[in-house]
Amino acid sequence: MRFLKDNGLTLILLGLFAASIFGQWMAGWHVAIEDARRHGLPILGLLAYSASPEFLSSVFENWESEFLQMATYVVLTASLIQRGSAESKDPDAPKRDADLEVQAAKPGAPAILRWGAIWRSLYARSLGIALTGLFLLSFVIHWTQSARVAAQNAQDHGEAVSTVWAYLGDAQLWFESFQNWQSEFLSTAVLVVLSIFLRQRESPESKAVAAPHKQTGD
Give per-residue pLDDT as tens, 196-217: 999 999 898 898 899 899 999 8
User: CB neighbours of 109 closer than 8 A, spacing ≥ 6?
Assistant: 103
Residue 93 Cα distances to 31, 85, 96, 132, angstroms: 53, 14, 8, 28
Q: What was the pLDDT predicted at 183? A: 95
Neighbours of 54 (CB within 10 A): 19
Average pLDDT over residues 1-10: 91
Confidence of residue 118 (pLDDT cuts 50, 70, 90): very high
Give per-residue pLDDT as tens, 80-106: 999 999 899 888 888 888 888 888 889
Q: What size, in residues, is the chain? A: 218
Confidence of residue 152 (pLDDT cuts 50, 70, 90): confident
Domain ranges (residues) in the chain: 1-51, 54-218
User: CB neighbours of 145 closer than 8 A, spacing ≥ 6?
Assistant: 53, 56, 57, 60
Q: Does the structure show a pLDDT above 80 at 156?
A: no
Q: What is the rounded CA–CA span in Å between residue 197 and residue 216? A: 11
Closest by alpha carbon to 73, among 10, 134, 132? Answer: 132
* Chain centre distance of CA 179: 14
pTM of the model: 0.91
Coil/strand/helix, residue 207: coil
